[in-house]
Amino acid sequence: MLNNAAMIIAGTVVGSAGSLLTQLMAKAMNRSLGNELFSGFGDSSGGSTGDVTGSMKAIEATDVGVMMAFARKVIIVPGYGMAVAQAQHKVWELTQLLVDRGVDVKFAIHPVAGRMPGHMNVLLAEAGVPYDRIYDLEEINADFDSADIALVIGANDVVNPVARTDPSSPIFGMPILNADKAQNCVVIKRGQGAGFSGIENALFFLDNTRMLYGDGQAATADLIQAVKEL
């Protein structure tokens, strides 16, 4: 292989691209490159698992449909679960229904949401979501304070408030999307599954958070139905 220039060039390109992506991830998570490579992030056997007291409160799709249809401002936070569920097309259909009713709907994208940089942007672009509805973390984080609803679809670590408060947490110091600051937060996920970091999410236990349990695509389809029936 060492005598084959094409293999050496291809290997160099792949290696540089990998290093660049790792560097981007480290920056997005407020970590040094060494910490990113060797800390074992994602291995829940070490560090605090973020035990949280209280309970998660479930909600039905019909109730979320009413809340959203009569909201002024909704911010959607997609995460890895939206990719697993391939829910992006339904999410865009829901968005269009809400926009037609006069609701201001924006998408908030965390730089490490999903499993590769730009994962959510690619999925939303594929579904036809226009770029001017999609905002990066720094652009939108201040907006959560004035949002009626933060709709979290299959995101977990990127909205976990312990990143701000618990120094023993493996995600401490990582910038997060301020979904907890919205007046109401609705989280779509299948059950009690942890995110990539393997820790509990304090957001799910807050008084202003409700859990809409189900697969991302099916739950979003239920929301579409609920809004259409109003």
Q: Does 119 bind ligand NAP (CB under 6 A)?
A: yes
123 binds ligand NAP (CB under 6 A): no
Which residues belong to the active site?
157
Q: Out of 22, 31, 66, 196, which residue is the one contacting ligand NAP (CB under 6 A)?
A: 196
Interaction of residue 221 with ligand NAP, rule CB under 6 A? no
26 lies in the site for ligand NAP, by CB under 6 A:
no
User: Does 155 contact ligand NAP by CB under 6 A?
Assistant: yes
Distance of closest approach, residue 153 Cβ to ligand NAP, in angstroms: 7
Q: Does 65 bind ligand NAP (CB under 6 A)?
A: no
First to last CA, the chain: 65
Q: Which is nearer to ligand NAP, 178 or 197 (CB)?
A: 197
CA atoms within 13 Å, Cβ hemisphere of 142:
2
The region of 5-13, 91-99, 186-194, 202-210 touching ligand NAP under the rule CB under 6 A is 186-194
- Among 96, 82, 65, 62, which residue's Cα sits nearest to residue 188? 82
